[in-house]
């Protein structure tokens, strides 16, 4: 991993970042952060890496479910302040679809239209999804007529990614510690090929 040019942005997302540390970092170049051994600069480097690492894991392991045809939602409770960053990431990957990430107390909403991202920060995810469900006139269970097609596509995708020979639990738990699994809402069914959308339901 290398310190990115916009490392100040990632530093600002760290849970322990403050104005004094940001002011100190503004006088540094990415190269200086990468090689300097001064304790404070080394701390800045560790903080940037911590945010980059968590963001990378959340992008890879947060599981999204459909609410009707126009909403994707997933459980999300990160350690650092990366909520908008990750929500925007999924919104850009799913242009025209409302993306909701959240937990019992907070939720973040992003929508990407014509290259522009619209954002909102609201209360608990259950409350946010209920409002969206009502606005879209979804069924009581949050499903819509096209859910079976979505599940079918999901199964095709999952089958294409599943490869028992590549399973390496030791490596998985080394790079995806329990804390990050909880943050991403990753309650996967182990040793099971037929995984459906329902296996990735929201947990608290």
Mean per-residue pLDDT, 78-87: 96
Whether the Cβ atoms of residue 77 and residue 107 lie closer than 8 Å to each other: no
In which order are the strands placed within the sheet that holds 65-67?
A: 65-67, 71-75, 98-102, 107-113, 116-122
pLDDT at 144 (0 to 100)? 52
Mean per-residue pLDDT, 72-91: 94
- Angle between helix axes 39-61 and 83-93 (nearest 10 degrees) is 40
Query: Which band of pLDDT confidence, cut at 50, 70 and 90, is reported for residue 139?
Result: low
Mean per-residue pLDDT, 159-175: 60
Query: Which band of pLDDT confidence, cut at 50, 70 and 90, is reported for residue 201?
Result: very low
Whether pLDDT at 154 is above 50: no
Mean per-residue pLDDT, 27-54: 96
- pLDDT tens, position by position, 19-38: 999 999 999 999 999 999 99
Whether pLDDT at 165 is above 70: no
pLDDT at 122 (0 to 100)? 87
Query: Which band of pLDDT confidence, cut at 50, 70 and 90, is reported for residue 54?
Result: very high
Q: What is the mean pLDDT of the chain?
A: 79
Q: Which residue has the tokens 């919104």?
A: 91
Strand residues in the chain grouped as ranges (E): 65-67, 71-75, 98-102, 107-113, 116-122
pLDDT at 43 (0 to 100)? 97
Whether pLDDT at 50 is above 50: yes
CA 176 – CA 171 distance, rounded (Å): 8
Mean per-residue pLDDT, 182-202: 48
Q: What is the rounded (10 degree) CA torsion for 67, 142, 118, 75?
A: -70
Mean per-residue pLDDT, 110-118: 91
Q: In 3-state terms, what secondary structure has residue 143?
A: coil
Whether pLDDT at 136 is above 60: yes
Min mean pLDDT across 54-68, 90-104, 145-159, 168-182 is at 145-159
Q: Which residue has the higher pLDDT, 24 or 179?
A: 24
pLDDT at 190 (0 to 100)? 43
């Amino acid at each position: 991993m290398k310190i990115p040019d916009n490392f100040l942005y990632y530093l600002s997302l760290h849970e322990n970042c403050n104005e004094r540390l940001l002011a100190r970092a503004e006088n540094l170049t990415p190269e200086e952060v990468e090689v300097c051994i001064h304790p404070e600069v080394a701390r800045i480097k560790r903080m940037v890496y911590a945010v980059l690492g968590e963001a990378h894991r959340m992008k890879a392991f947060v599981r999204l479910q459909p609410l009707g045809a126009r909403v994707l939602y997933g459980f999300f409770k990160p350690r650092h302040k990366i909520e908008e960053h990750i929500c925007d990431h999924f919104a850009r990957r799913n242009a025209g679809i409302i993306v909701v990430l959240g937990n019992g107390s907070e939720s973040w909403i992003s929508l990407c239209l014509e290259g522009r991202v619209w954002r909102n920060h609201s209360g608990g995810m259950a409350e946010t999804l209920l409002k969206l469900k009502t606005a879209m006139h979804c069924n009581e269970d949050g499903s819509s007529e096209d859910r079976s097609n979505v599940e079918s596509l999901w199964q095709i995708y999952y089958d294409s990614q599943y490869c028992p020979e590549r399973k390496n639990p030791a490596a998985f738990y080394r790079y995806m510690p329990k804390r990050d699994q909880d943050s991403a809402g990753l309650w996967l069914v182990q040793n099971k090929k037929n995984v459906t959308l329902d296996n990735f339901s929201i947990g608290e």
